[in-house]
């Protein structure tokens, strides 16, 4: 019996438990790393959609008289711009009428459909001075 206790090393059961723990740890690490890469891809697509929305807003600093209704597709992103009058309760010759401009960006991410909706206010374009008189 004393020879049995002096034996050093791992038993088969201890070795199997160690491998099981290592396999679970590697599986969890793989899942975490895969989720991080997927999240980075999602963030990049949302960032591209945001840059597209900013670029579309930069096209006009005012809304035309009939409102702003426009749609299109750019680099796999579908977009729609719509404006509606925004009531402020203020009136006067120096106070322009405001429009609420909504931009919707849509794209496909594999099987999933993604979208980004942004809203801002823009003034109504004033006619030139020669037309107002």
- Helix %, strand %, coil % of the chain (to 5): 40, 30, 25
Q: What is the pLDDT of residues 25-35, one digit of tens each?
A: 888 888 777 66
Q: What is the pLDDT of residue 78?
A: 95
Q: In whole angstroms, what is the distance from residue 11 CA to residue 13 CA? A: 5
Q: CA-to-CA distance for 113 and 29, rounded, in angstroms?
A: 28
Domain residue limits, the chain: 10-132
| pLDDT per residue as tens digits for the range 87-97 | 888 878 778 88
Question: Which parts of the chain register pLDDT below 70?
Answer: 1-7, 34-37, 127-133
Q: DSSP character for 100?
A: E
- 74's tokens: 């750019």
Residue 88 DSSP label: -
Are residues 106 and 118 in contact, defined by beta-carbon separation less than 8 angstroms? no
């Amino acid at each position: 019996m004393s020879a049995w206790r002096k034996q050093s090393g791992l038993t088969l059961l201890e070795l199997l438990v160690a491998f099981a723990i290592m396999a679970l740890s590697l599986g969890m690490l793989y899942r975490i790393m895969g989720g991080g890469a997927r999240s980075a891809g999602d963030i990049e697509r949302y960032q591209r959609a945001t840059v597209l929305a900013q670029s579309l807003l930069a096209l006009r600093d005012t809304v035309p008289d009939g409102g702003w209704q426009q749609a299109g597709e750019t680099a796999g992103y579908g977009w729609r711009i719509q404006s509606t009058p925004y009531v402020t309760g203020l009136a006067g010759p120096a106070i322009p009428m405001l429009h609420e401009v909504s931009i919707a960006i849509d794209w496909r991410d594999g099987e999933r459909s993604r979208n980004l909706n942004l809203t801002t206010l823009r003034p109504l374009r004033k006619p030139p001075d020669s037309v107002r008189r």
